[in-house]
Amino acid sequence: MADVYLDGAAWGYQQRARRLMLAVVLVFAGLLLRLAHLQLVEGDSLKAASERNFVRDVVLPADRGTIYDRHGRVLAVNRPSFDLYVTPAQVRDLDALVAGVREVLELDELEAIHLRERIEEPRGMWRYQPIRVERDIDRALVSRVEALRARADGLSVQVEFKREYPYGELGAHLLGYLGRPRAEELKDTERRYTKDSMVGRFGLEKRYEQILAGHNGLERYVVDVRGARQDGGWARHAMEQDNRIIPPERGHDLWLTIDIEVQRLLVEALARHESGAAVVLDPNDGTVLGLVSKPGFDPNEWSSGLSSEVWQQIQENPFNPMLDKSVHAYFPGSVYKVVTAMAGLEEGVLDADEEIDSPGRYEYGNHVFHCHKRGGHGKVNLFEAMAASADVYFYKLGERMGIDTLAVYGERFGFGTRTGLGINGESAGVVPTRAHHEAHGGYQAGLALSTAIGQGDVRTTPVQMALAYGALANGGTVWTPRVVESIRRPDGQVVSTFEPVAQRTLGVDTDHIALVDKALERAVNDDKLATGHLAALPYGTVAGKTGTAQVRRIQRDSMRQSVKRFRDRDHAWFAAFAPYESPRLVVVVFLEHGGSGGKDAAPIARQILEAYHQRIEPIFQTTAAVDRDRLPERGAGRGGRASRQR
Amino acid sequence: MKGILANVGRIDWALVGLVVLLSAVSVLNLQSTSRATGSEVYLSQLYWMLLGLGVMAGVAVVNYRDLQRYAPVFYGGVIIALVLVLIFGREINGSRRWIDLGFVGFQPSELAKIAIILSLASWFQKETRPGGYGFKDLLPVAAMLGAPMLLILQEPDLGHTLMLLFIAGSMLAFERFEKRTMLIVVVSAIVLAPIAWRFVLRDYQKDRILTLVDSEADILGAGWHARQARVAVGSGGLLGKGHGEGTQVAGGFLPENHTDFVFANLAEEHGFVGGALVLVIYLGIVLVALRSAVRARDKFGGHVAVGVAALIFWHVVMNMGMVLNVLPVTGVTLPLLSYGGTSVLTVMAAMGLLLNINLRRTVF
């Protein structure tokens, strides 16, 4: 037998053995290359992966700062919320656990079955991932859950902070709400946001995120595959740094200039209107006391994750609750006439006493411009024209100056520029110029006329309007709106204070300011002509102007009839300051598609002034004479007014 | 006695040296993993090694003729054991691979590899075809191979089933076949592969193959083992984390760390240097075995040597391929490095066969 192997085929076996050896060497070389690739090429990234296995970074959430109103009332605060988790891998007795949870949380049978399925479903290492069974369990239940935990392995309670807004809708747009961080925010290594963090998404919560959020802390330690913390043995050498703790830093508190009771009276005053905004501020330094947009929303609902029904309701609401109308720009209509009047006086094309014929219609070019009053007003001076809101009077002023001159004064009042409030995508509005119209569909000379009465393409925000009327009230300074008074630590120590900042001055003759102010006083108090007479108060003098802005809108057939009727209506404005003699307050009321400035907006402004005087602080003295003697001089404008009043 | 002494000079000392070196590496490596897991498997492994070296020596001095003579008896015994394991086997993780002998667990599929090597070798010795084997000759080979394969597949143990196929295939590659026969074999392999996928493989086995294609898929589920092995190996870098400093085993991230994935711990703690050394030792053993095949005095010895070479080669390739994430996860051990009594004894017996063949080799 041996002969066969040796003689006949020995050569063949040797050759085949050599081939097999070659194949073996090649395959082993392949394995060696693969080993080299993993260890030398991918080595660093796989070493990092190995560290990710055992290094556990637990973010220690920082307590978010509290938001207070001007009197220290809490507007937004964190409260601990307890979430219940089950870790499938740690469950020993599933029946007992499900039964226990069912009893404590009062689940029905279907929910209990669902819970069991969720615990049984994960496979492999997924079983070590905790499953959230219930969010924000009732405080009273926490102790029962703790008792259950002692009996049923696998349950855990994690504490999270939940944002609360005790005044609900009163602070809605202004305070804003929180939401989960976006992908780019999760990359912010300094703040250490996690996917469970809540960050400011709207309003002041968003604007002052950096101040309020503080810094999340970090605890880093070694864990095994089950997530159990390891301190001895291998864990001592595993990490290059020692176990470490960076304590969380609480955010700072925000003290606002807002008075929540002013917010309340604004919401009450707007109660009968679906959509609009109201602003109350101090004309003397731009301090905002109240700022409301309608429809409101409950920031509590937003900050705890909206239910789909609420989301649906908001999406379907035709009045757009998520738009902050106080900083959104709309056609102002006649409230803008103060710009035209001021321009006329300054440019020397107008004398306040000059009587200008103001009929019901005015032909210009091949277009007829109408007055809101068909019969017109006859010959009127500035005071009568403002009181009656005589459109033709202002058309003629517009014609005398042209659109670009009007624009200069519009801009001096702060229109066309963001006020610097800095929240909710504040709009700059539009102060139309010839160039603006050329860029948007073409310029015609007639546009100067419509601009003069706040139509054309003029668009202003309610906050801009309040600051502009504030400048008329304070003698010429357009302030930057001030909403935050100071940033403080929890112990009350002030970190920084926000002083009033002048945005610009009107740069006009103070006598001219006094004349426009007088015209505004007439617009409320003139016995015969005042279009704003519904804003007049028996015990104090209000100065203000109505605005009824025509709205041109392309109609969509799909709109519901009620919505269509709403969209066809004019915007109603009323802008006022009071008391006329020594202004303490500016009030702007804007009703989107709200009807008429005189009939609808003016009474609301009056209600606000009245409520403020009665409930917040008295702003009207018994007689103007007493007031004038007692008050110190407050600016150049004051002198002009005093001389005029004699 | 005199005959044995006369043959001392013919002992393949290179092979003995490689086996002893590998055994030492194995015990040290297991000492590290057992320190982390708190078991003492390295001591058991040490005892198995010592016993195994005895088995190796014993097999080396068995009468060469007897190996061939009793091959069918051995084969028959293994078949019976494979049937018994399906009936009385201890069920672990859904499969029956072990017979509990009281003091120790016994895995018949390990011995099946030796049985196939001896049976095929003696068949080739008996049936010579100077013009090359034809298709009809393959039928008895297929029957001899098919019986243990089907039984092992029932356990189920895909790794060992394939191992038998690969060992037999390698032994066939050492013979000459008619071209027509080779063509038929290749074509039928291509046809049978999808059928096997559909009807033979179980879902978890398919998952393991699929996770290989997409290594990031389901890394907390089916892909966990492979992913963590890759992490362990790669994190070792050039020089490794140091003996006993591996974190993958200590933290419990690497499963099966003293059996199927034992090489991952070695590569993690001793880096590319350690891993490459082990690879070179295995290469040495396989090449020594193939050298013995050429030197063997007859076809039986030649085929046994090729079979042993194939046994070591395929175990190393399938195990390391799995650890290095180039082959799917199959429960194939790494010879001598993996913990396990039956496995150690089987490999040692195979080494003994090599020594035996060398002792009776033809001197040129």
What is the pLDDT at residue A636? 39
Note whether B283 contacts A: Cβ–Cβ < 8 A: yes
More confident residue, B182 or A284: A284
What is the pLDDT at residue B117? 94
Note whether B31 contacts A: Cβ–Cβ < 8 A: no
What is the pLDDT at residue A640? 37
Q: DSSP 3-state assignment of A374?
A: coil
For the segment A402-447, what is each residue's pLDDT rounded down to a tens digit? 999 999 999 999 999 999 998 999 999 999 999 999 999 889 989 9
Does A555 score more than 80 pLDDT? no
What is the pLDDT at residue B310? 95
**Alpha carbon separation from A473 to A56, A336, A502, A558, A587 (Å, rounded):** 61, 15, 14, 45, 11
Contacts of B364 (CB under 8 A, 6+ apart): none
Does A646 score more than 70 pLDDT? no
Which residue of chain B is at minimal alpha-carbon distance from A52?
B231
Q: What is the mean pLDDT of chain A?
A: 87
What is the pLDDT at residue A629? 42
Report CA dihedral (B198, B204, B210, B211) to the nearest 10 degrees: 180
Q: Work out the minimum CA distance from A52 to partner chain B, whole angstroms.
A: 10
What is the pLDDT at residue A582? 94
Which residue of chain A is at minimal alpha-carbon distance from B125?
A1
Interchain CB distance below 8 Å, A31 and B317? yes
* Tokens 């072990």, located at residue: B98
Residues of A with CB below 8 A from B248's CB?
A: 50, 53
Please work out, in degrees rounded to the nearest 5, the angle formed at the alpha carbon of residue B51 by the alpha carbons of B47 and B55.
160
Best of B211, B225, B283, B322 to disrupt the A interface (most A CBs within 10 Å) is: B283
A429: alpha, beta or left? (left if phi > 0; alpha if psi -120 to 50): left
Residues of B with CB below 8 A from A237's CB?
A: 245
A485 pLDDT band (50/70/90 cuts)?
Answer: very high
Neighbours of A264 (CB within 10 A): 17
Note whether B276 contacts A: Cβ–Cβ < 8 A: yes
Interchain CB distance below 8 Å, A35 and B267? yes
Does A624 score more than 60 pLDDT? no
What is the pLDDT at residue B212? 61
Neighbours of B234 (CB within 10 A): 28
Does A454 score more than 90 pLDDT? yes
Which pair of structure tokens corresponds to residue B24? 């030492």
Q: DSSP 3-state assignment of A121?
A: coil
Best of A5, A22, A34, A237 to disrupt the B interface (most B CBs within 10 Å) is: A5
For the segment A68-78, what is each residue's pLDDT rounded down to a tens digit? 999 999 999 99
Torsions phi, psi for A153 (to 5 deg): -65, 145
What is the pLDDT at residue B305? 93
For the segment A17-37, what is each residue's pLDDT rounded down to a tens digit? 888 999 999 999 999 999 999
* Strand residue runs (E) in A165-204: 178-179, 199-200
* Tokens 């392995």, located at residue: A153
DSSP single-letter state for residue B12: -
Interchain CB distance below 8 Å, A17 and B235? no
Residues of B with CB below 8 A from A20's CB?
A: 170, 173-174, 290, 306, 309
Which pair of structure tokens corresponds to residue B218? 């389901």
Please work out, in degrees rounded to the nearest 5, the angle formed at the alpha carbon of residue B304 by the alpha carbons of B301 and B307.
150
For the segment B3-61, what is each residue's pLDDT rounded down to a tens digit? 555 666 778 889 999 999 999 999 999 998 887 667 788 999 999 999 999 999 999 98
Please work out, in degrees rounded to the nearest 5, the angle formed at the alpha carbon of residue A23 by the alpha carbons of A20 and A28.
125
A457 pLDDT band (50/70/90 cuts)?
Answer: very high
More confident residue, B11 or A588: A588
What is the pLDDT at residue A563? 67
Is A612 in contact with A265 (CB distance < 8 Å)? yes
More confident residue, A33 or A135: A33
Residues of A with CB below 8 A from B317's CB?
A: 27, 31
Q: Residues of chain B whose pLDDT is less than 70?
A: 1-8, 36-37, 102-103, 209-222, 362-364
- Alpha-carbon distance B212 to B229, whole Å? 13
Best of A20, A51, A131 to disrupt the B interface (most B CBs within 10 Å) is: A20
What is the pLDDT at residue A326? 95
Is A435 in contact with A311 (CB distance < 8 Å)? no
Interchain CB distance below 8 Å, A49 and B128? no
What kind and span of H or E run contains B342?
Answer: helix B341-359
- pTM for the structure as a whole: 0.68
- Treating both helix axes as pointing N-terminal to C-terminal, what angle do B158-172 and B108-126 enclose, rounded to 10 degrees? 20
Contacts of A419 (CB under 8 A, 6+ apart): A327, A426, A461, A463, A464, A467, A480, A481, A503
Which residue of chain A is at minimal alpha-carbon distance from B325?
A34
What is the pLDDT at residue A147? 85
**Closest by Cβ to A124, choosing from B170, B220, B232:** B220
Contacts of A394 (CB under 8 A, 6+ apart): A337, A340, A341, A385, A452, A453
Does A261 score more than 90 pLDDT? yes
- Alpha-carbon distance A58 to B150, whole Å? 52
Contacts of A98 (CB under 8 A, 6+ apart): A112, A115, A116, A119
Q: Residues of A559-586 as b/e, b for ≥16 C-beta within 10 angstroms?
A: eeeeeeebbebbbbbbbbbbbbbbbbbb
**Closest by Cβ to A225, choosing from B253, B275, B302:** B253
- Alpha-carbon distance A303 to B219, whole Å? 34
Q: Work out the minimum CA distance from A79 to partner chain B, whole angstroms.
A: 35
**Closest by Cβ to A39, choosing from B234, B245, B291:** B234
What is the pLDDT at residue A51? 84
Which residue of chain A is at minimal alpha-carbon distance from B237?
A39
What is the pLDDT at residue A510? 94
What is the pLDDT at residue A162? 86
Q: Work out the minimum CA distance from B293 to partner chain A, whole angstroms.
A: 7
Count of residues in chain B = 364
Which pair of structure tokens corresponds to residue A257? 């200039």
Interchain CB distance below 8 Å, A31 and B245? no
**Alpha carbon separation from B12 to A20, A285, B8, B9 (Å, rounded):** 20, 102, 9, 8
**Alpha carbon separation from A223 to A53, A124, A344, A367, B143 (Å, rounded):** 8, 18, 77, 81, 53
Is B162 in contact with B330 (CB distance < 8 Å)? yes
More confident residue, A14 or A453: A453
Which pair of structure tokens corresponds to residue A175? 């305070």
What is the pLDDT at residue A355? 94
Least confident of A12-16, A318-322, A518-522, B299-303: A12-16
Does A619 score more than 50 pLDDT? yes
What is the pLDDT at residue A642? 36
**Closest by Cβ to B251, choosing from A14, A45, A224:** A224
- Name A154's bridge partners: none
Residues of A with CB below 8 A from B296's CB?
A: 5
What is the pLDDT at residue B155? 84
Best of A14, A16, A35 to disrupt the B interface (most B CBs within 10 Å) is: A35
Interchain CB distance below 8 Å, A35 and B275? yes
**Closest by Cβ to B231, choosing from A28, A53, A125:** A53
Is A144 in contact with A104 (CB distance < 8 Å)? yes
**Alpha carbon separation from A614 to A416, A535, B236 (Å, rounded):** 35, 16, 78
Note whether B239 contacts A: Cβ–Cβ < 8 A: no
